[in-house]
Each structure stands twice: as C-alpha cells, then as structure tokens.
Amino acid sequence: MPRDWRRMSLRAAGVKLIDCVHKTPAATTAGYAYVTIPQLCNGRIDFSTARRISEPDFVMWTKKAMPRAWDIVLSRRCNPGETALVAPGEEFAVGQNLVLLRSDGTTVHPPFLRWLTRSPDWWAQIQKYLNVGAVFESLKCADVPNFELVIPPKEDQEAIAELLGSLDDKIEQNRRTGAKLEELARAVFKAWFVDFEPVKAKAAGATTFPGMPPEIFAALPASFEDSELGPVPRGWETTRWGEIASLEYGKSLKGYQNGEGSVQVFGTNGPIGWHTAKLADGPGIVIGRKGAYRGVHFSPEPFWTIDTAFYLNPKKLFSWRWAYYELLRVDINSIDSGSAIPSTSREDFYSLPVCLAGQSMFHGFDDVLAPVFEMLVAMKAESDKLAALRDYLLPFLLSGRVRVIDQQT
C-alpha cells in the first residue's frame, strides 16, 4: 500500500449509513419506483422490474432515506454486501433490507464510493462482519460504519473514479441503447403476432404493409377465425406450449461466480456468472423455476442453466425471438406449483394456449429484425469485455499497485 494511503473506518472517513423504513408500502399500477434487493444488478439499479407506489407512500418512505446522487444502495440480507449506485436524476424509495451509504465529501470523493464498495477489501469486511447465525445471512446496520478500508488521497480517488466510471458509463450506454432496440423489436412482434396489423390491413384491401417484405405479406390470410384466444388469422394454429416445447431442468454448478469462462450462467432471475462449459446451445430461453420472482431470459449464445431454472427445448420449429417475446407476455410468477417455495408448474405451463403463425412469418420476423438482433449481440459482447476489463483493473487500482495519477515530482 502506498505510504500516503490510509486505512480507516467508514465512519472516520465521513461515510454514514441511512436505514430504510422497516415495512412495505402497497403496490400501485403507476407511481414512484420502490427499489428492493432484486433491482440491484451489476452495480446499477434496474428500474424495469421495480414495483410502483403512490405519492403519499413515496413521501413517507423517503422522509428517512431520500436517495441522492452518488449514494450507494447496500443490501444487508439475502445477498449481503451487494451494492448499486444512485445515478444523478434517479428518484425512488428504498425497500426493506436495503440501506444507503453517503459520503460527506471530506475524505471520500462521492463518485469514488461506488468503487470502494466493490473492492476486495470491501468483501473482506463483509465476511468479517457477516451474521451467519440467522436463517438468512445478513449485516447489522451498526457494524457497517466500522468497516475498515484503504482510502487513497483525493486525487487518486478522482482519477480512479473517472477511469472506471468511463468504462461503466459505456456499458450503461450500451444497455440503454439495447433497451431501445428491444422496444423496437417488441413493437414489431406486437404488430405482427398480437395485434395482427398486417392481416387487418390485408383484410381492408391493402397490398403492402410498412416494413414487411412483399412475399411475406402476399402469403398472409385476409380474414380471421375464432379460437380460444379470440379472433386469430385464418389458418394459423392454436395449440399449447406443451405441444411445441418442453421445459428441461437446469443442473447445479459450482464456481460460476468467479467470472471464469465465456459461457453465461443463468438462474431464476437471469445471468448470474460464467462457466467454461455449456449446458445448451444458443439461441435459447431460460425460465425461472424457483423463487418469489421468476423471469424469462434470452441467450443468443450457448449457456448454462442452474437448477433454479428451466430451459426451453423445442418440439416444433419456431423463431426463438418470437418465442421469447411471446413468453414475456405470460405471467410466469402466476404459474405456481403450490409448494412452500414459489415454483413454476411445468404442467400449467404446458397447458398455456399459444397461436403459431406459418414458418414464412417466423423467417420474415427474424430477417426484418436481423440487424437489430446482430447489434444487440455485438453490444453485449462489447459490454462483457468492458466489464471484464473494469473488474480486472479494480483490485489493482484500489490497492495502489497501479496508480492512475502521475507520480513524478
């Protein structure tokens, strides 16, 4: 450790802990975001899955803990030590088992705090103070300010925060661009396969449909027929998910959290690590099997699924992207086996009705959106490389073995 770096407690460094309200507000269909543990994703807050609360509840829940830019949200339970940055402009209420860490700026540069709470030193303190006697491992609020960490001089902090922040900002930019591209793809999916806009246009006498290849449009029916799903294009097959695919169990795995390998590992809530071997070829779809929140996840590349999730095995030919967007319309969390732990019921899933278009529609969908899908894959690959570089540099920079600022005198 460089001689001008000091080890001190968070309390001595001017970092305070702000506790949350220890109860849960009622959910609403719209309103303010209420962030809980599942929304802490890769050092950022994923608002897409956050529940919404009313304005009166938001005011009440933020009286004690109003997040500010550069605060750190810390999980005390379930995944104790996990953190996420409060980026400028983000507004939300803090859920149970989460707390805020806030630097007063005297010793710790506020944008540097996010990296301090992801360092090896930080995780060593987590292990030191972890309460393992309860049902869930947890951290005590009183212990966190006592964490002793190596604090560099301010100029080092600013340089480290700028370097790592620039890498992280590019990853976040890719994520946001990817989200917009996903919105575009889902809009096309909805128009073609949910609202049947091309078929409606043809029934009204149109000879073309914007964005649809002429040969695909020419092959469409020009009328509808009744089905258990309501009116569907004439000739399209109404069937069950169990007739077109099966749910295969994932397999338990050790060592996937160390970041080694190029095969992404999925759990019930999505990507959770990397491995050197694959369980299934990509593209593929993972469906959460156990847990209060079970999601649907798409992988364009070969992947591994652990035993808290299923992966989809097709019995008939269809577009993987179509299947992914179709399954996002299904409330997986309502498909419960009735066991003590919320679990997806395979039988209930197999009984779900689904409408299959012809192969020409699936091929047309994939071809039209091929540039979008290729860009999504390319951006993910770039983000994975940037994240690997960021995570590789972090322990060197936080220990002082590599210094960003010019040390010449």
pLDDT digits (tens, 9 = 90+) for 67-104: 999 999 999 988 899 999 999 999 999 998 999 999 99
The pLDDT of residue 281: 93
The pLDDT of residue 251: 93
For the chain, the three-class secondary structure string (H helix, E strand, C coil) is CCCCCEEEECCCCCEEEECCCCCCCCCECCCEEEECHHHEECEEECHHHCEEECHHHHHHHHHHCCCCCCCEEEECECCCCCEEECCCCCCEEECCCEEEEEECCCCCCHHHHHHHCCCHHHHHHHHHHCECCCCCCECCCCCHHHCEEEECCHHHHHHHHHHHHHHHHHHHHHHHHHHHHHHHHHHHHHHHHHCCHHHHHHHCCCCCCCCCCHHHHHCCCCCEECCCCCCEECCCEEEEHHHHEEEEECCCCCCHHHCCCCEEEEECCEEEEEECCCCECCCEEEEECECCCCCEEEECCCEEECCCEEEEEECCCCCHHHHHHHHHCCCHHHCECCCCCCEECHHHHHCCEEEECCHHHHHHHHHHCHHHHHHHHHHHHHHHHHHHHHHHHHHHHHHCCCCCCCCCC
What percent of the chain lies above the pLDDT cut of 70? 98
Name which of 247, 243, 246, 248 is nearest 353 in CA terms.
243
Question: Which of 155-169, 247-261, 291-305, 395-409 is most confident?
Answer: 155-169
Dump pLDDT digits (tens) for 338-368: 777 888 999 999 999 999 998 899 999 999 9
* pLDDT band per the 50, 70, 90 thresholds, residue 291: confident
What mean pLDDT comes out for the span 296-304? 94
- pLDDT of 21 over the 70 cut: yes
Question: Mean pLDDT of all residues in the chain?
Answer: 92
What CA dihedral angle connects 187, 189, 195 and 199, to 10 degrees? 120
Dump pLDDT digits (tens) for 325-342: 999 998 888 887 777 788
The pLDDT of residue 161: 96
What mean pLDDT comes out for the span 296-307? 93
* pLDDT band per the 50, 70, 90 thresholds, residue 408: very low
CB atoms within 10 A of CB 20: 22
Dump pLDDT digits (tens) for 147-201: 999 999 999 999 999 999 999 999 999 999 999 999 999 999 999 999 999 999 9
Residue 115: left (phi > 0), alpha (psi -120 to 50), or beta?
A: alpha
- pLDDT of 146 over the 90 cut: yes
The pLDDT of residue 409: 37
Report the alpha-carbon distance of residue 42 to residue 44 in Å, rounded: 6
| Count of residues making up the chain | 409
Name which of 12, 45, 14 is nearest 113 in CA terms.
14
Report the alpha-carbon distance of residue 123 to residue 133 in Å, rounded: 19
